[in-house]
Structure 1
Amino acid sequence: MKKLKSGFTLVEVSLFLVITAAVFVSVAVGTQNSIFQQRYNDSIQNFAEFLRTAYSQVTNVQNEGTGRSDKAIYGKLIVFREDSGRNKITSYNVIGGIGDIGSGRVLTQLESLGANVVIEKDGGGYSAVGFVEDYTPRWASQIQTTSGWEDDKYDIFTGAVLIVRHPKSGTVYTYKTNNDFVDDDLMDIDDYLRKLNDGSTTAESLLSGSLEDKFEMGDVDFCVNPNGADRSNLRKDIRIVAGARNASGVEIVPDGEDLVEVGGVSLNVGNRCEP
């Protein structure tokens, strides 16, 4: 009896290689997408936690951090700047004097106490008060703006958020920079300190003047873009609700629009970061 030869034909081998390659590509793409999604979620959660921690630090001051008994910490100033196409986010302590004050508006009271984010050192010169913290978004994400036209809604978010505690009542208030207020010193504290120390400016208070003119209450929406400068449709809205009093005022907004009628005008209270 004649024995049959076993083996695979060229067609069968080719088909096996094609199927194996397709499965490998599918698994690789799925794994890459999974890693991307995990990193994106991590960047969202991490940024939200950074903001929530600021509230915890305002409401639970552990120590003054200035080395001076005539000063107290009243809050945080979180400044958002752009540096070479990347986010530069820095949190500063807001300090002020200690004295007998009334029960007026918190910004007015802080003005009367000389609220500031810098301090004059005993040996001369100025420096940012203790606990200055820089924050970098995770996994090369960008914190972008929601505002404006199609061409600028992917711009890096710039501005400042002021989280302060009333010197008398202890109630926490949240403010954002007024859209009409532009102040290079506020936006670049490092440059302001340099000017103070080399005598280029004689201003002794970074937050001098009327804080009521510089800050206002209102929602603050941050768009987290996982692809950085890429104009991706995948952007998540993290919002500090108007007048937030504690960490619960930091929300990760669900996707989709949620329109409400206010004075005959439809306002989107849902994800303001979508295209």
Structure 2
Amino acid sequence: MGAKTHKGFTIIESVLFLGVTGLIMAVLLAGVGGTLNRERYKDAVSSFQDYVQGQYNLVSNVNNSRPNNEVCQGGQIVTGVTSDSGRGTSDCTIVGRVIHSTASGDKVTSTQVYATVDASALIGSNDAAILNSAQLTASPNEDTYAMAWGTKLVKPRPDDSVRAFSILIVRMPTSGLIHTYALEQADQVPAAIVGNYVASGSFAMCVDNSMFIAGGVGRVGVLLAKDATNSGGVQFLSEDKC
């Protein structure tokens, strides 16, 4: 009788097949992971840009959400006191919002800013002087925004440290024009932001990409244009600027 033959793969062929298949799968998974990282990072940047743009929209379209037991007195918000202002009126005026960085860089806070002096009584030779006489004060009620996907705000290269800032978006109580004041310091009150502001160029806020470098993600961010007056001044910042 003749010897029987069996069709199939040899051990070497099986090992080679599994090795090649594994390599292909690894490449595919790496590609998928890289794409996912890029999409997550892009989402983190665009979400933060939307958030800052939204602050300008809130200034342009004021919603007086101050509780009735918060009253403006002596240049500050006093809680636990009922306002005597009639319905639809206020004893102070919402004129803007202030945005603050946090020490960790992964969160940003914002709150309303009030002018505690009536616009008809404001005097000054320039906008800064007028805002100073307005006795600006920030509401104690803060909103907190968390950066998406574990990212944080950093300075442009070569500095990788956390980006500290205080940004005041204010609508002039006398003219209605919107101005932006930005300082590279955290936790500054509105009056200090105006008083210490030095006119300069645009303000860059880069979004850390260290968690996504493996996916070939370059660092980008958000640019607050010089003298921004509306949400259009909040722009995408390209990789060569971050």
Deviation at 1:208, TM superposition (A): 4.8
Identity %: 24
- Residues of 2 paired with 1:56 and 1:207: CA distance? 19
User: What residue identity is the alignment partner of 2:161?
Assistant: D
Q: 1:215/1:228 Cα in 2 relative to 1: closer, same or farther (>3 Å)? A: farther
Q: Which runs of 5+ in 2 are unaligned?
A: 69-82, 84-89
Q: 1:48/1:215 Cα in 2 relative to 1: closer, same or farther (>3 Å)? A: same
Moved over 4 A (4+): 206-209
- Residues of 2 paired with 1:145 and 1:233: CA distance? 17
Kindly provide the CA deviation profile for residues 15-57 of structure 1, in whole angstroms up to 9, marking residues without a partner as x: 1101110011011111111111110000000010110000000
Please give the residue correspondences for 1:1-275 in structure 2 after superposition, counting only pairs within 5 Å.
4-67=5-68, 68=83, 69-83=90-104, 86-97=105-116, 98-100=118-120, 101=122, 104-118=125-139, 128=140, 130=141, 132-146=142-156, 150=158, 153-177=159-183, 187-188=186-187, 206-208=189-191, 212-218=194-200, 219-227=202-210, 234-256=218-240, 271=241, 273=242
Deviation at 1:108, TM superposition (A): 2.0
- Matched position secondary structure for 2:210: coil
Q: 1:207/1:15 Cα in 2 relative to 1: closer, same or farther (>3 Å)? A: closer
Q: 1:142/1:48 Cα in 2 relative to 1: closer, same or farther (>3 Å)? A: same
Deviation at 1:99, TM superposition (A): 3.4
Q: Which runs of 5+ in 1 are unaligned?
A: 119-127, 190-205, 257-270
Whether contact under 8 Å (2:37, 2:217) holds in the other structure is: no
Deviation at 1:4, TM superposition (A): 3.7
Kindly provide the CA deviation profile for residues 166-204 of structure 1, in whole angstroms up to 9, marking residues without a partner as x: 102111111112x6xx6xxxx447xxxxxxxxxxxxxxx
Q: Which residue of 2 aligns with 1:267?
A: none
Q: 1:48/1:103 Cα in 2 relative to 1: closer, same or farther (>3 Å)? A: same
User: What residue identity is the alignment partner of 1:117?
Assistant: A
TM-score, scaled relative to structure 1: 0.70
Whether contact under 8 Å (1:48, 1:238) holds in the other structure is: yes
Q: 1:111/1:136 Cα in 2 relative to 1: closer, same or farther (>3 Å)? A: same
Deviation at 1:234, TM superposition (A): 2.6
RMSD between aligned alpha carbons? 2.6
Deviation at 1:96, TM superposition (A): 1.4
Whether contact under 8 Å (2:54, 2:231) holds in the other structure is: yes
TM-score, scaled relative to structure 2: 0.79
Q: Which residue of 2 aligns with 1:124?
A: none
Deviation at 1:58, TM superposition (A): 0.5
